[in-house]
Each structure stands twice: as structure tokens, then as C-alpha cells.
Amino acid sequence: MESIISQSYEVHFGELAKAALKQHIAKSGYSKVFVLVDENTKKYCLPFFKKEIMAHPIDSVFEIASGEENKNISTCTKVWEMLSNFDGDRKSLLINLGGGVLTDLGGFVASTFKRGIDFINIPTTLLSIVDASVGGKTGVDLGVLKNQIGVINQPVMVLVFTEFLKTLEPRQRVSGYAEMLKHGLISDMEYWNQLKETSSFTEPDSIQKSIAIKNKVVLQDPTEKGLRKILNFGHTLGHAIESYCLENPEKKTLLHGEAIAVGMILEGYLSHELKGLSKLSLDEIKTTFLQYFEAVHFSDDDVDAILKLLKFDKKNTHGDVNFVLLQSIGEAVSDIKVPEELFQKAFAYYRE
């Protein structure tokens, strides 16, 4: 499969990825090569990585605990300490082998250790392959508040091996599908139509298409001054819902993709009310997501608490919450203010 070129790095697939890694390490003169894993990628991905992908010796493998609840500064401290204890210096390389939690955290740790060392992302979940590992957003949560601490800093390369998806739990695969559907909704109606009908979303062609859509947006606006914001469709309410479920033990924890699937239905409703998204398209969005993602129950108290969390959204300016909405399927607009009364209506539409 053809590589995808981003501003300072490339996304390579399969055999090409293997060759690119070998060539890059051979020419870079790294003092140390470290690999970051969690307990699952250590078990399911590290053996394949060592046997089939990595030709160069590894100095140390660092393990962190998996899960969004560990995407925080105290896990970063542990990795910074491991880097330091194992003689990491500015010419060290960190290879992030894992899902979006690990690539976000590992990217941030590498970007800040000794003011920045090289890192390579080798994403192992569908979500991290099609979205999280590409685009250079790195960071961690602050308490339950999503991605509040971080920097935008690009990896040296992103290497995609779809073999890793074989051991991924079905629920995790579907979570990644949400971000792929988002790519269609914000920029490509044809892709949305094709993807919403198929259960073969882990096909290499779909994966490549999703990465290409994200990359095209990021290339035009790497630091999210304007266009890049459209990648946040569904994420304003989605992140608030994800945080709310994380901090409430009585609520079922939602995976990132599950939370933004709800967010996309709600923000689809706001798009219909404010930006002319047709009722037909809105219903199509809702039906599609509810076909793949179990409906979540929200009480009135839940909704009130979720809406309070909106004030922490990273896109807010001057105290205003800024939304990305759809004018039609395939066409998104950003920086839209939403009158408060519409939020309750959006949840009412979701519950219908």
C-alpha cells in the first residue's frame, strides 16, 4: 500500500513500513532505542514486533498500565523516570507500540523528555491507526478532563501493520469505526456512504482512506488554527460524556469511539437546527451509529452534569463553547456557538 506523506514524516504500511524503520534507525545513529508497551500490547504485539518488524536491537522495553484512567501525568513521570534510569539522552528514540492512550502519552513523554527526543508511533488499535497516531497531537488527561495537557509535535514516522488488529476485542474495533465514520461525515459523503453500509471497515483500503482524510486536513492546518477543528466533530459533547462516565463509577465506562458516536448524533441534531443539515441526513446519522453502538441511557441529572463539563473543552474561547457542525454530510463548519436550550433538545432527540 502506498505511503502517505505528511509535513515532516510519512505513514508507511506493512513491508514498506518495516523497510523504512530499518533504514531510518540505521542512518540516525540513536544512542538508545526504547519501546513503550502496555500489558496488552506487551502480550499481543511485542512478540510480532520483535520477530517480524524490528531488525535492530532494543535497549529496553518500558511497560505502563493500559486504560484511559492511566493517561495522566503520573504515568508520564514513571516513563520519564524509566528513560532517565536507563540512560536515555537527547539522541534516544522512543517507539510507541499501542493504542491511542499509549501513542498520545508516549508522544507527550518523548516531546518533553530533555526538551524532546524522537518518537515513532506503531499503532495497534483501529482507532489509533486511523486517527490517534497521525497528526501530532500528544498529551494526557487532567483528572477526568480529556487531553488538557499536551503539545502538538510530530512523530518521526508512523508505521501501520494491520496484523495487530487480529487480537483486538470486537468492542475496540467498533470504537475505531466511529472515527472512520467521522472522517466521512466531515469531508467525504461518498466515503460515508460506502463505510456505513459495510462491516468490512478494517479493510486496508478503508484504513488508508481514513488516514489520508485526516492527514489532508492536518497538512492544511497542523496547529489547529482553523480547518483542523473539523476533526473534532462529535468530540465537544463526546469528550464531556467520556469524562462524565470516567468519573462516575456507577456509569458504564465508554470507550472513546463509543462516546463520540453519541456526540456525533447530538451534534448532528445541533447541525440540523443551526446549519441546515437535512432531517433525512440527521436520521441517517442516528440510525447508522445506533446500528453499531448500543444506545446509552442518560438521566436528566446525567445531562446536566455533562453540560457542566463543556466549559473545559479545549476549543472554548472567551468562555464560549465552540462547536463543529455539519452543513451537509461531507461538509463541516467550525466555531459555531449553540444556544443552551438546544442541548436538552439534542438529548431528547437522542433518546427518541
Nearer to ligand NAD, 243 or 271 (CB): 243
Q: Other C-beta atoms within 10 Å of 293: how many? A: 24
Which of 91, 72, 80 minimizes the C-alpha distance to 30? 91
Residue 193 has a CB neighbour count (10 Å cut-off) of: 14
**Beta-strand relationship, 4-5 and 10-13:** antiparallel
Q: Least separation, in Å, of the C-beta of 166 and ligand NAD?
A: 8
Question: Cα 56 to the chain's mean position, in Å?
Answer: 29
Amino acid at residue number 69: E
DSSP conformation class of 65 = -
62 vs 164, which CB is nearer to ligand NAD?
164
Which cell goes with 224? 489547529
282: Cβ contacts below 8 Å, ≥ 6 apart: 268, 269, 271, 272
Note the residues at the interface with ligand NAD (CB under 6 A).
38, 40-41, 44-45, 66-68, 71, 98-102, 104, 124-125, 127-128, 131-132, 135, 137, 146-147, 164, 167-168, 172, 175, 255-256
| CB of residue 48 to ligand NAD, shortest distance in Å | 9
Measured distance CA(182)–CA(197) in Å, rounded: 14
Q: Which is nearer to ligand NAD, 135 or 268 (CB)?
A: 135
Cβ of residue 66: shortest distance to ligand NAD, in angstroms? 3
Shortest separation between residue 241's beta carbon and ligand NAD, angstroms: 13
Cβ closest to ligand NAD, residue 132 vs residue 324: 132
Nearer to ligand NAD, 130 or 325 (CB): 130
Nearer Cβ to ligand NAD (20/102): 102
CA 134 to chain centre: 8
Minimum CB separation of residue 273 from ligand NAD in Å reads 26
CB of 75 to ligand NAD, least distance (A): 12
The three cell numbers of residue 320 are: 464560549
Question: CB-based burial of residue 60 (10 Å sphere; 0-12 exposed, 13-18 middle, 19+ buried)?
Answer: middle
Q: Which is nearer to ligand NAD, 143 or 276 (CB)?
A: 143
Residues 262/346, Cβ–Cβ less than 8 Å:
no
Q: How far is the CB of 28 from ligand NAD (least distance, A)?
A: 24
CA 142/CA 4 separation, integer angstroms: 33
